[in-house]
Amino acid sequence: MKRMLRSASTVLAGLAAVAALLPGVASAETYTAGIEASFPPWAYVENGEKKGIAVDAMRWIAKDQGIDVNFKDLPWPSLVPALGQGRIDLLVTGLDVTRERDKVVDYSIPWYVNNDALMVPKDSDLNVVTALSNGATIGIQSGSTQYLWAKKNLVDNPDIDATIKGYDSSVTAVEDMEAGRVDSFMVDELTATEFASKRDDIKTIAIMMAERPMALAVTDGDPHHLLAKLNKGIMNMVDSGNWRRIVKKYAPYMPIKNVPGYMPPYIDHYKNPPGIDLSN
């Protein structure tokens, strides 16, 4: 009996070794995808399950490209540093493309272009000027492009009297505005539309046309060679109609824009993005 067990073990080990060499049989690589799971409609948690446009889209891309992803929920301000330090392999939640971030990450092709929005309580008399000046306190998610813009153009401007209060979560910022702890709230247009559709005590008073591209990101230098897979997966998802299906599932009001979207010329690697041909 022992001899038979040893023989069986030897055969199984041999089969496993052979299977690992066969195309399509080897196990898929697993990567850690960083998200902020309090950023609807891009990523959020419902009944213990991670959902949202970015989450479902990344799952589709992973299946299409033969890779596995595990989602890791982190506060937004820590996501880009975590990617730069290699604690996550890619960043999935709606990331705005900026020159500063380009120093520590590499971007996929853009899959959306977004604007900024300014929100106030529904019974507020503030307008776009008074909500950003006259001693107003503005709630903004820390580390976001809106936070960086407000610091540079409002707080650091000696001619404008405004204070910004940073939050790890945009949901907490909205709740503080509802409670009267901040006067207004800045966020991207799509998230503002999502909040307004679910909360009847807040309103959007201005859309600021930033036309800022959003993309996935990997660590600078693409050490895991993921960009080609991400770019191919994004285009396959768009061409198959699954991008539209995913977007409309979570945000029926969200317009479907051209993919790949505009990328600023200072993103050098985008001139020849891995995995796709933009010359046509």
Q: Is the pLDDT of residue 66 over 50?
A: yes
Contact 65, 229 (CB under 8 A): yes
- Average pLDDT value for the chain: 88
Q: Is the pLDDT of residue 167 over 60?
A: yes
Output the pLDDT for position 27: 56
Q: Determine the Cα–Cα distance for residues 65 and 72; give it in Å rounded to an integer.
A: 20
Question: Helical H runs in the chain?
Answer: 2-21, 53-65, 76-84, 145-150, 170-178, 189-198, 227-239, 242-250
The overall longest dimension of the chain from CA atoms, in Å, is 88
- Report the pLDDT averaged over residues 173-195: 94
Output the pLDDT for position 280: 62
Q: Is the pLDDT of residue 12 over 80?
A: no
Contact 98, 215 (CB under 8 A): no
For domain 28-113+212-268, give the CATH number.
3.40.190.10
- Report the pLDDT averaged over residues 66-72: 97
Q: Determine the Cα–Cα distance for residues 202 and 178; give it in Å rounded to an integer.
A: 7
pLDDT-derived band at 269, boundaries 50, 70, 90? confident
pLDDT-derived band at 150, boundaries 50, 70, 90? very high
Q: Cα-Cα-Cα-Cα dihedral of 57, 63, 68, 73, to 10°?
A: 10
Compute the half-sphere exposure of residue 210: CA atoms within 13 Å on the CB side of its CA. 24
Contact 219, 82 (CB under 8 A): no
pTM of the model: 0.79
- Report the pLDDT averaged over residues 225-246: 97
Closest CA to 257 of 188, 190, 187: 190
Q: Is the pLDDT of residue 166 over 60?
A: yes
Q: What DSSP assignment string belongs to 53-104? A: HHHHHHHHHHHHHT-EEEEEE--HHHHHHHHHTTSSSEEEEEEEP-TTGGGT
Q: Determine the Cα–Cα distance for residues 27 and 47; give it in Å rounded to an integer.
A: 30
Annotate 131-165 with b (16+ C-beta within 10 A) or e (fewer): bbbeebebbbbbbbbbbebbeeebeeeeeeebebb
Two structure tokens written together for 276? 């796709």
Q: Which CATH topology does 115-211 take? A: D-Maltodextrin-Binding Protein; domain 2 (3.40.190)
Sign of CA dihedral 134, 135, 136, 142: positive
Q: Domain spans of the chain?
A: 28-113+212-268, 115-211
Output the pLDDT for position 92: 95
Give the number of other Cβ atoms within 10 Å of residue 107's Cβ: 26
Query: Do the two domains 28-113+212-268 and 115-211 of this chain adopt the same fold?
Result: yes
Output the pLDDT for position 54: 96
Residue 166: exposure state from Cβ atoms within 10 A (0-12, 13-18, ≥19): middle
Share of the chain above pLDDT 70, in %: 89
